[in-house]
Each structure stands twice: as structure tokens, then as C-alpha cells.
Chains A and B, each alone.
Chain A
Amino acid sequence: MSMHAVRLGVKRGWHEQILSLKSPQDQVFYVAMSLANVAFLWWKRNDTVEELGLSFPQVALPGILALVLAFGFLMSPAQVIAMEREDGTLLRMQSAPGGGVAYAVGHVVMNLTTIVPMLLVLVVPSVLLFDAGSQRGVGGWLVACAVLVLGASALLPVGLAIGTLAPDLQRAAMWSVVPLGLSALLSGIMVPVASLWGWLQPLAQGLPLYWVGHLLRYAFLTDASAAGELNGSWQVPQGVAILVVWSVVSWVAAAVLLRRSSRRQSGAAVADARVRAAQWVH
């Protein structure tokens, strides 16, 4: 793996990010996401969470961020990878020397840099309109950023692996929606884990999304808010350790899968996908 290819991978990811930010399609997506978030919090702006002594928007924001992180780093990469395998992007990159490495690195950079616009459109309005910022000041914000990067790093390879294993775009969509929905339900970012059946609770605590939610709540809420957590306390080192383990294991697995899959895609398969896509359009 040459440094030249890695450097060009970074350049590719950056170029893709700029193209995305310039594209009206993606701009509409960011605006819609921002408006939906504001509308939801506006609707519940006067609710308070009695046991924590905080407003609903303050308590909800970490969960919303965790959910968006799961969408952006589990589902979206899975579908983009499957799509780019079908439309020949992957094959075209692999036919150039070092192109396979540049392609993979480019995806990582493109996805990680997406955190920035995503945060801006969600967090800024929530803070300005609903005072939903971190209760811990600057330190809390820094922890939140670190958790988002760590969470993205734990989820992204899973998304890439799903996109690599799925035989086509339709199945990539299905295979990524199911784990996303299940882990969102189990991870306490939509409903508290404590309200799940007892046997599900340890399972939930093995999922990266549970710890992303937990650590984001820690970053945004107060020490006293730990009363709402499963063990009644903030488990920061444990959460970080689990996310690191997830990251390492899933990156290794994704790297192996990406390398193995490179032979499966041929020009003929790309041509077949093109015919299938044409049938969808007509």
C-alpha cells in the first residue's frame, strides 16, 4: 500500500465532499434534516423531563445526534458502496494502479468529513432556539465531538462491510435498514433501555450505538442526569473501551472484505446492473 495512493485517497474524499456540499440535492437534504429537527423540538419545546430537571429539547438532542450518526455511517455508506459497485465506480478505480486503496481511503475521508455539516445543521439551531447545548460548557462540547468521531469510526466499517457483502443495491438497502432499526430501538436513543425486557438489556449494552447514545448524553447533560441511565451512573471509560474495540474489529473485518470482494465485480456485472437500472427507470 503506497503512501501516494493513500494521499490521493484523502484528496478523493475531500473532492467528493466538496462536490456534495455544492450539489443542490445534498443541500436540500441538509436543509430538510435541519427543518425536521427544529419542527420536532419546537413541538415539544415546553415539555420538561421531570426526573432530570431539564427541558425535552435538551434531553432529546444527544439521542437525535446518535440516530443521525447511525443513518450517516451505517446505512448511507452501505448503499453508496453497493451503488458504486453496480455503476462501475469501483471497477474504474481498481483498474488504475493504487486505485483500490485510494477508493477505500476516499470513502473514509468523505464519510468522516460529513460529520461537520451534519452537526452544524442540527446543533446550531437546537442551541440557538431551544438552549439545548451542553450543560458542561466547552469541555462537554469537546467530549461530544470526540464521541461522534469515535462512534463514526465504530459504525462506518460496519456500513462499508454491509455494502460490500450485499449482492445488489436493493439488498444493501435492506441489510442496512434492519440493523439500523434494531440497534436504534435497542440502544436507548428512542426509548430508554430500562423500559426494554430485562434479557435485552445486556444485548443492548454490546451495541456501539448504545454507547454512542450514553456518551453523548454524558457530554450534553449533567452529572445528576446519570440517574436516568441503566446503572444510575456515567460509565465513560467502559463506553470508550467498547467503542474502540468495535472500531478495531470492524475495521479489520471491513478491510478483509473489501479486498476479497474486488474480484467479484466484473464489467459484465456492471453491464447487467445497467440493464436492471434502465428497467427501473422506464
Chain B
Amino acid sequence: MTTSPGSFSVAPSTAVTDLRMRYGTADVLMGVSFNVAKGEVVALLGPNGAGKSTTIEILEGVRRRSGGEVSVLGADPEIIDEQWRARVGMVMQSWRDHARWSPHDLVEYLGRLYDPYAAVSGRPRWATEELLKMVGLDRVSRQKIRTLSGGERRRLDIAIGVIGRPEVLFLDEPTAGLDPEGRRDVHELIHGIVDRDDTAVLLTTHDLDEAGKIADRILVLAGGRIVADGSADALAASLARDVQIRWTHGGRAHVHACAEATGFVRQLLTGPAGADVKDLEVSRPTLEETYLALVATHHRGANAPLDEKAVV
């Protein structure tokens, strides 16, 4: 599996080519390339420390890269102006800031910062009440922010990220620390935003299941490189490994692994012992098992052999 920059007919809203990042002597990103198209939701998936946050912070312009080319809405995030900021949404993990403010006051306040830019771009910012209603905070909009639950805070973070109706939206671990219900709310919220404004979305997660649910395309980041790129289904197919066939014969359990199960099973059942085969079971490793194996391989170095035992 090698890096494959996607091909799009329109100019991508975010283009990354051979991105490199080095902290001291540690290489965190070693030549990462990918594109995000308008209206596309891309998940950057990988274990902790894989460089997901670093990548997204470079794109947001809060971190300087060591090498490579980066373009967000046609501009290099290292040399940006306020006009660019108005078109780029960033959802960050908040925890204590603006504790005394109410969601309404904070959203209204930050929204007003966008007003002069909306006139230029022709994309008026969200009206405060409407935005708070969309993220389901209308009932708590006058409370102090410090009284909000974790899920409510995260929805406020997302509301703040999209106030200016951004053309591209970056989300770093948007569902970290949320319960399943909270996660589902956030997923629906992101889909709603994309449907409405055709926003390009790049988010990070270390949860494969989440990436599959939320993203059109998944980039698996491991060992400083993108080791897989595609939709959840495409990933499953391209990473498909041997199928396991289990059965019992005369009270003894048997296991056989092969690439193509049908022929083997036919032979097994039509063979001399076929009548005594019981408990036949054919299973494909789950996407999760495959993903973990992939990540483990690249974490140890690209040339290390695949070793399933170390993964399970």
C-alpha cells in the first residue's frame, strides 16, 4: 500500500505534497501526500503519536512544517491573512476557556469578527440563534459555558468552527471523550454541515469504526506515512487477507487459511470425509483486525514482516 494522491477534476481545497515534520531528531511525518476535494469528508486515521494532530495543525497554520508543499484554499498556511482565516474553520478541543461566557454570547461575539469578510466572500456567517439550534444548544444557550456537559461543549466547539460557513473545516479528534450517543450527534452534525455548504472536511480520529461511519475516504497514517487511502469498503477489499475456514471432523477441530474459500470448501465437502464434517465456519478477518495489523507493521518500520500474533 503506497501513498496515492487522489485525482480530482476540480482544484482540491487542500493539497499536501511530500509533507515532512521533524521534532529535534525525531521524524514524525516522512513524506505525506493527499488531497481533500470540495464537499469531501476525509478522515486521518492512525494510532496516537502517528502525526495526525501535527498534520492538521500544519494545515491550520499554527505549526511550521519542516518540508514539503501545503496548500489550503490556494494559500500556504504559513503565510496567511485574516481573509484566509475567515474561510477556514478549525474545531479545537476546548476545556476551560470562556467559562463565564454563555454559548450565545460567545458565538455571537466570534461571529461578529467574521462580518466584514462575509461581505467579500458572499457567504454570510451563521445567525447565532440558528446555529445554536442546529447544534442543539438552543436550550442551554444562556447558561455559563462551564455548566455544559462534555457533549454540549464539543457541539459548541463545532458551532464555533463553522460560524463563518468555512469552505474547509479541520477537526482534531472531534469525538474524543464522548459517549456513543454524543459521537452519533457529532457525526450527524458534520454530515449536515457538509450537505448544506459543500464544505471540505478533514478530521482526525484513532477509531476505525468512526472513520468508516463519517468519512468518504480514510487515510491511514502510520510510521510517518500514509499507508492506506480509500473508502472504508475499498480499504476492506484492498487489505483483504486470507480467509479462515474452521470445521470439526470426528470430534477434532481443524483450521485452514487460504485466499479463496469456495474451492477448498467444495473439495472438503465432496471428499471422502465430507459427510462427517461438522460446524463449518468461513470467516474473513474484520476490517479492524486488518487495520491493526497494518498499523503495527508500519509502526515497527516499513520492511518488517507482518506478524499477526503481535497484533491481537
Residues of chain A at the chain B interface (Cβ within 8 Å)? 2, 4-5, 8, 11-12, 15, 19-20, 23, 84, 87-89, 91-92, 94-99, 102, 263, 265-268, 270-271, 274, 277
Q: Do B86 and A92 touch across chains, with their CB atoms under 8 A apart?
A: no
Given the complex of chains A and B, what is the CA–CA distance between A15 and B60 in angstroms?
Answer: 28
Given the complex of chains A and B, what is the CA–CA distance between A255 and B114 in angstroms?
Answer: 23
Take A11-B109, A96-B110 as given contacts and tell me if A270 and B62 are in contact as well, using a CB distance cutoff of 8 Å.
Answer: no
* Distance from A279 Cβ to chain B, minimum over Cβ atoms (Å): 14
A-B contact count (CB 8 A): 94
Given the complex of chains A and B, what is the CA–CA distance between A96 and B106 in angstroms?
Answer: 12
CB-contact partner of B97 in A89, A97, A99, A266, under 8 A = A89
CB-contact partner of B93 in A96, A102, A265, A270, under 8 A = A270
**How many B residues touch the partner, as a band?**
35 or more
Given the complex of chains A and B, what is the CA–CA distance between A20 and B57 in angstroms?
Answer: 33
Given the complex of chains A and B, what is the CA–CA distance between A253 and B127 in angstroms?
Answer: 39
Q: Do B115 and A95 touch across chains, with their CB atoms under 8 A apart?
A: no
Q: Do A271 and B98 touch across chains, with their CB atoms under 8 A apart?
A: no
CB-contact partner of A19 in B57, B82, B101, under 8 A = B101
- In the complex formed, the residue of A with least CB distance to B114 is A97
The residue in B60, B96, B116 that gathers the most chain A C-beta atoms within 10 A of its C-beta is: B96
Take A267-B53, A267-B62 as given contacts and tell me if A96 and B105 are in contact as well, using a CB distance cutoff of 8 Å.
Answer: no
B172 within 8 A of A: yes
Q: Do B113 and A97 touch across chains, with their CB atoms under 8 A apart?
A: yes
CB-contact partner of B98 in A89, A102, A263, under 8 A = A89
B283 within 8 A of A: no
CB-contact partner of B62 in A8, A11, A266, under 8 A = A266
Q: Do A91 and B62 touch across chains, with their CB atoms under 8 A apart?
A: yes
Q: Do A92 and B92 touch across chains, with their CB atoms under 8 A apart?
A: yes
Q: Do A98 and B109 touch across chains, with their CB atoms under 8 A apart?
A: no
B95 within 8 A of A: yes
* Distance from B74 Cβ to chain A, minimum over Cβ atoms (Å): 17
Given the complex of chains A and B, what is the CA–CA distance between A4 and B56 in angstroms?
Answer: 29
Q: Do A265 and B110 touch across chains, with their CB atoms under 8 A apart?
A: no
Q: Do B85 and A92 touch across chains, with their CB atoms under 8 A apart?
A: no
For A19, the chain B residues whose CB sits under 8 A away are: 100-101
* Distance from B62 Cβ to chain A, minimum over Cβ atoms (Å): 5
Given the complex of chains A and B, what is the CA–CA distance between A172 and B92 in angstroms?
Answer: 24
- In the complex formed, the residue of A with least CB distance to B176 is A271
The residue in B54, B109, B164 that gathers the most chain A C-beta atoms within 10 A of its C-beta is: B109
Q: Do A91 and B105 touch across chains, with their CB atoms under 8 A apart?
A: no
CB-contact partner of A4 in B90, B92, B116, B172, under 8 A = B116
For B109, the chain A residues whose CB sits under 8 A away are: 8, 11-12, 15
